[in-house]
Structure 1
């Protein structure tokens, strides 16, 4: 048994949700409800999201993108 199968079996046992249904295409997706308490919800049944967590992710992504952009050269008018 692969480790992925084992993890999905535990998830299925604890939640009663069959992640192997065709509509899921064997991919479990989730949204973070509370980062500090490590609580997530399946994307198809999300109660709420941790907006501070997602803002932090967006801020980090923005900084990474800005660093990759070429430095602007000063133009003389």
Structure 2
């Protein structure tokens, strides 16, 4: 994705979010968090704070941290 679209494209953020969700489903919230954070960084750069994509990633991060018992 990064080769096709570049580092800061919404499609890359979506791919990172989906990879995070896959790691969540596989029971590895630490890896999920790493992907969610990448997606969040891209979407904040592209859209700013007030966008549904940013809210999605913040929600996913919160849930992953909750599973770990480490609210952030």
What is the TM-score normalised by the length of structure 2?
0.33
Higher helix share: 2
Point out the structure with max Rg over C-alpha.
Answer: 1
Which of structures 1 and 2 has the larger relative contact order (alpha carbons within 8 angstroms, sep 6+)? 2
TM-score, normalised to structure 1, is 0.31
